[in-house]
């Protein structure tokens, strides 16, 4: 039996002994394990059915711990000081000693300091960074509540620390630097490109992966998709209609359409907080399709659009790695 608990010291003791424990962060729940044990790292990939070429994020308690695994200076340090602890992941040159299993053998390692004080206390107690991908089966929607982890991973996880619903609700923004030293966003997320640019005075364009030779090919296989088809069409009877804008919230609805409001006031942060929970809940509700009102092409809307597009693009009958 997987136990859901609220005692972070118990979670830390289990992690220390090599267990896999789901921990809450401000973005989504992570499937954590100690990053200095190759067996633990391999168990993380196996539990999620995650391709081995899709590297993990190392979660650190503080900057000193980050420096034990990565080189942090220049603009990266500027962003780290501004946004950590918080929903920002940096791709940094790895130090010797970082296990290949943690970064899929790549020269850079992904690192972040999560906002949750409890998560940081757990990391500090374990004493080494915790590798933690989102605590879902690979390809499925990320969990934002402890119950989602239990429903998705079941006995593949040893313990779940319940910290209530995640406050941001979508994954961290990933930033890395190209060979010319230009900062790029590898994954849109809870921190917008504008907020990053306001901090350093430089733009952070989206990284364009070389599709012939992508750096982290496993990342391309991610779909964030429920089993029920997702679309951005208007709903038909039998469908769910997921909305965020004030105008759509007032819509009285057509018969047979299940209206689900992520926000009643057009608040995108609230919509982000509720999106994954809505997808997971509707996935088990028997609706024919999950139709989602298009998100705006700016700010947090960009990250939400991207998640919905990926969910909608899920190839039929794919086992979505
Ligand atoms: O908000 C988050 O980031 C959550 C919480 C738990 O911290 N974690 C999360 O982890 O979303 P995961 O494993 O689901 O997504 C990590 C992403 C993957 O798309 C992976 O390809 C990318 O980070 N990544 C990790 N290391 C990388 C590297 N060296 N180069 C390029 N991409 C990398
Ligand atoms: Mg994930």
- How many angstroms is it from 140 CA to the middle of ligand 1? 14
Beta carbons within 8 Å of 246's beta carbon, 6+ residues apart: 264, 265, 266
Residue 272 is encoded by which pair of tokens? Answer: 């982000």
- How many angstroms is it from 254 CA to the middle of ligand 1? 40
Ligand nearest to the CA of 142: 2
Tally Cβ neighbours within 10 Å of residue 220: 14
Nearest CA to ligand 1 atom 30: 216
132 lines ligand 1 (CB under 6 A): yes
Evaluate if residue 294 carries a pLDDT over 60: yes
Q: Which atom of ligand 1 is nearest to the CA of 171?
A: 1
> What pLDDT is recorded for position 319?
43
**Alpha-carbon torsion, ordered 156, 162, 163, 165, to 10 deg:** 70
- How many angstroms is it from 104 CA to the middle of ligand 1? 11
Question: What is the C-alpha separation between 41 and 153, in angstroms, rounded?
Answer: 16
> What pLDDT is recorded for position 314?
66
Least confident of 70-84, 159-173, 219-233: 219-233
> What pLDDT is recorded for position 317?
43
129 lines ligand 1 (CB under 6 A): no
| Residue-averaged pLDDT of the chain | 94
- How many angstroms is it from 267 CA to the middle of ligand 1? 26
> What pLDDT is recorded for position 249?
87
Phi and psi at residue 173, to the nearest 5°: -80, 135
- How many angstroms is it from 110 CA to the middle of ligand 1? 7
| Confidence bin at 37 (pLDDT 50/70/90) | very high
133 lines ligand 1 (CB under 6 A): yes
**Alpha-carbon torsion, ordered 53, 278, 317, 31, to 10 deg:** 30
Question: What is the C-alpha separation between 142 and 150, in angstroms, rounded?
Answer: 12
Q: Which atom of ligand 1 is nearest to the CA of 57?
A: 25
Mean pLDDT of 12-33: 98
150 lines ligand 1 (CB under 6 A): no
Pick from 221, 207, 219: which is nearest to 313 by CA? 221
| Confidence bin at 222 (pLDDT 50/70/90) | low
Environment of ion ligand 2 (residues, CB < 5 A): 134
> What pLDDT is recorded for position 202?
98
The pTM for the full model equals: 0.96
- How many angstroms is it from 61 CA to the middle of ligand 1? 17
| Confidence bin at 1 (pLDDT 50/70/90) | low
Pick from 165, 164, 163: which is nearest to 276 by CA? 165
Which residue among 20, 55, 85 has the greatest number of ligand 1 atoms within 8 angstroms of its CB, and so is best to mutate? 55
Beta carbons within 8 Å of 85's beta carbon, 6+ residues apart: 113, 114, 115, 116, 120
């Amino acid at each position: 039996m997987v136990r859901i608990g609220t005692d972070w010291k118990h979670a830390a003791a289990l992690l220390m002994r090599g267990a896999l424990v789901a921990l809450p962060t401000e973005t989504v729940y992570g499937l954590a394990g100690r990053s200095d044990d190759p067996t633990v790292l391999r168990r993380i990939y196996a539990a999620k059915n995650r391709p081995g070429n899709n590297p993990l994020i190392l979660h650190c308690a503080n900057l000193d711990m980050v420096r034990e695994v990565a080189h942090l200076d220049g603009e990266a340090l500027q962003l780290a000081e501004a946004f950590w602890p918080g929903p920002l992941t940096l791709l940094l040159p790895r130090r010797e000693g970082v296990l290949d299993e943690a970064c899929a053998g790549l020269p850079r390692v992904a690192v972040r300091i999560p906002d949750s004080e409890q998560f940081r206390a757990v990391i500090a107690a374990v004493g080494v960074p915790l590798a933690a991908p989102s605590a879902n089966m690979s390809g499925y929607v990320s969990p934002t509540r402890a119950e989602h982890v239990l429903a998705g991973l079941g006995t593949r996880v040893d313990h779940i620390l319940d910290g209530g619903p995640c406050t941001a609700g979508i994954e961290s923004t990933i930033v890395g630097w190209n060979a010319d030293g230009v900062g790029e966003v590898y994954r849109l997320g809870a921190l917008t490109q504008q907020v990053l640019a306001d901090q350093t005075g430089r733009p952070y364009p989206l990284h364009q992966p070389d599709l012939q030779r992508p750096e982290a090919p496993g990342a391309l296989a991610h779909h964030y998709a429920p089993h029920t088809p997702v679309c951005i069409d208007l709903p038909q009877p039998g469908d769910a209609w997921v909305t965020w804008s004030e105008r759509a919230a007032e819509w009285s609805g057509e018969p047979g359409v299940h209206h689900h409001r992520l926000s009643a006031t057009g608040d995108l942060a609230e919509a982000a907080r509720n999106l994954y929970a809505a997808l997971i809940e509707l996935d088990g509700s028997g609706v024919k399709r999950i139709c989602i009102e298009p998100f705006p092409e700016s700010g947090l809307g960009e990250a939400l659009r991207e998640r919905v597009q990926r969910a909608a693009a899920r190839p039929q009958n794919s086992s979505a790695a």
